[in-house]
Amino acid sequence: MESFSLGPSGRQATTGSEGLLSKIGNSSQSSGKEAMTISAQAKVNNLVPPETLVETNGAGFPYELGALERRPVLIVLGVTEIIEQESLHVSVWGSPDGKDWGQQALFWFPQKFYQGVAPAALDLRQLPGIKFLQARWEVNRWGRGDPRPMFKFGVEIQELALGPGAGSD
């Protein structure tokens, strides 16, 4: 069973200081010659709203990229509640129309067994046909006790700013 609480637009937004990014702080990542930085003022949107409770495999709603289309983005998986002897595996899929997601994810986060935050950079400039993203998850539980897995997590997205001297499109 999953529970979502989304507004009429299907999006929830917070500022960078309120989201999962505040747990990893302002940092820079290098991708070739370009330095990418996280802006504390960047708008944070959600592929999966924070504190979403899941017990089965599932998928978030299609997220229309809008202004983030063809830009470098930071996607952050934040697991806030988990029980022992279970795993969560989250992937991010791309689509040109919000309906056809293809046969392969754009990327998979490392499988999670504990609470924590996992950031990933995705350069959408290299994927010009992608207009929508969707997070999907697979859950697994083993061992004793209730056989149903239970997780609370969220997946955030925000633009990564190019550092000084970095090239443009």
Q: Give whole-number Cα distances, 133 to 59, 115, 125, in Å.
A: 11, 24, 14
The predicted pLDDT at position 166 comes to 53
Is residue 167 in a domain?
no
Q: Which residues fall within 8 angstroms of residue 89, CB to CB, at 6 or more apart? A: 108, 109, 111, 112, 137, 138, 139, 140
The predicted pLDDT at position 125 comes to 95
The predicted pLDDT at position 26 comes to 39
- Domain total in the chain: 1
Residue with token string 């689509």: 95
Distance between CA atoms of residues 95 and 13, nearest Å: 21
pLDDT in tens, 11-28: 333 334 355 545 444 333
The predicted pLDDT at position 147 comes to 85
The predicted pLDDT at position 25 comes to 42
Calculate ∠ Cα 42-47-50, nearest 5°: 85
Q: What is the DSSP string of 29-51?
A: EEETTEEEE--TTSEEEEEEEEE
Query: Which residues, given as ranges, of the chain have pLDDT below 50?
Result: 1-17, 21, 23-36
User: pTM for this one?
Assistant: 0.75
Provide the domain limits for residue 150.
13-162
Q: What is the DSSP string of 147-169?
A: SS--EEEEEEEEEPEEPTT----
CATH of the domain at 112: 2.60.120
The predicted pLDDT at position 69 comes to 95
